[in-house]
C-alpha cells in the first residue's frame, strides 16, 4: 500500500506495456469483428501470462489493469469480472474449493449466462428451465422457446468452457424461481460444444468487437445436482 505500492504497480504496468504481445494497441480499429476477436484472444493469452510472471495473480487486479493498459475489452473480461466473483460469493465452501482455483488459474474459462433474447435482464421473465430428476440426482436444463435463447453474454460465443447459467428450478412440477447452475459448455480437449448445447457468436456490434458476445440454447442437458450453486 501507500507510495511504495503505487510505485510497484507503475513498474508492473511499465513491464506489461513492454510485452511484445501487447503492442499495436490501436490496430483493432481497422479490423473486422473476427479479426478483432482473434487479436484480443491473442492479447488475452499474452496479458495473463505476463501478469502471472510479474506476480499479478489476483484476477480482480488483472481486470482493472487491462483497462489501465488500454487493451480491454478482452474475451476473458466476464470471466474475471462476473464468473469468478459469482463463484466466490454464491458457491458453498465445498463448491468454492473445487471451482474457484480452476477459474483463478484459467484452467477453465467462464461466462455469466443470464440474459435471454426475449427478456434481456428481466429476471422475472427468464424462461430457461432446470427440472430436477430425483432418480438421477440431476437437472434437465432446457430452452423451451426461441425467446428463452441465452443472448449477449460476453465470452460465450467462442471462449468460455463453462458458465454460470440462470434458469427456473422446477421441483415436483412447481416453479421454485430462478437459480444459478455451473454448466460445462465445451469439451476440454476439442473445445467443441457438448451434446445438447448450441453455441455461437451474435456477430458484429457497434462496440466491443474484440469480445465474443454469444448465444446459447440447451436441449435437455443433464446438470449434476452438485452444480446447483448453494452459497
- Dist. CA 87–CA 103, nearest whole Å: 9
Q: Torsions phi, psi of 184, nearest 5?
A: -75, 130
Contacts of 98 (CB under 8 A, 6+ apart): none
- pTM, whole model, 2 decimals? 0.91
Could you tell me the CA-to-CA distances from 12 to 2, 16, 57, 74 in Å, in that order?
16, 6, 12, 19
pLDDT per residue, tens digit, the chain (231 aa), is: 677 776 787 788 788 877 777 766 666 678 889 999 999 999 999 999 999 998 999 999 999 999 888 888 899 999 999 999 999 999 999 999 999 999 999 999 999 999 999 998 899 999 999 999 999 999 999 999 999 999 999 999 999 999 999 999 999 999 999 999 999 999 999 999 999 999 999 999 988 888 999 999 999 999 999 999 998
DSSP 8-class letter at 194: P
**Cβ(30)–Cβ(55) below 8 Å:** no
Amino acid at each position: 500500500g501507500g507510495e511504495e505500492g503505487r510505485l510497484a504497480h507503475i513498474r508492473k504496468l511499465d513491464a506489461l506495456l513492454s510485452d511484445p504481445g501487447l503492442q499495436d494497441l490501436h490496430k483493432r480499429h481497422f479490423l473486422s469483428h473476427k479479426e478483432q476477436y482473434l487479436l484480443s484472444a491473442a492479447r488475452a493469452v499474452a496479458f495473463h501470462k505476463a501478469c502471472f510472471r510479474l506476480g499479478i495473480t489476483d484476477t480482480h487486479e488483472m481486470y482493472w489493469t487491462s483497462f489501465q493498459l488500454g487493451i480491454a475489452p478482452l474475451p476473458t473480461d466476464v470471466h474475471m469480472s462476473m464468473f469468478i466473483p459469482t463463484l466466490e460469493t454464491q458457491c458453498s465452501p465445498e463448491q468454492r474449493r473445487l471451482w474457484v482455483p480452476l477459474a483463478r488459474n484459467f484452467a477453465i474459462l467462464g461466462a455469466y449466462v443470464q440474459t435471454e433474447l426475449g427478456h434481456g435482464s428481466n429476471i422475472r421473465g427468464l424462461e430457461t428451465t432446470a427440472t430436477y430428476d430425483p432418480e438421477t440426482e440431476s437437472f434437465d436444463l432446457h430452452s423451451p422457446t426461441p425467446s428463452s435463447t441465452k443472448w449477449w453474454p460476453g465470452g460465450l460465443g467462442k471462449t468460455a468452457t463453462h458458465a454460470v447459467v440462470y434458469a427456473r428450478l422446477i421441483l415436483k412440477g412447481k416453479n421454485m424461481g430462478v437459480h444459478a447452475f455451473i454448466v460445462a459448455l465445451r469439451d476440454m480437449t476439442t473445445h467443441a460444444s457438448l451434446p445438447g448445447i448450441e453455441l455461437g457468436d451474435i456477430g458484429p456490434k457497434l462496440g466491443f468487437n474484440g469480445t465474443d458476445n454469444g448465444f446459447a440454447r440447451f436441449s435437455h442437458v443433464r446438470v449434476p445436482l452438485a452444480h446447483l450453486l448453494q452459497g
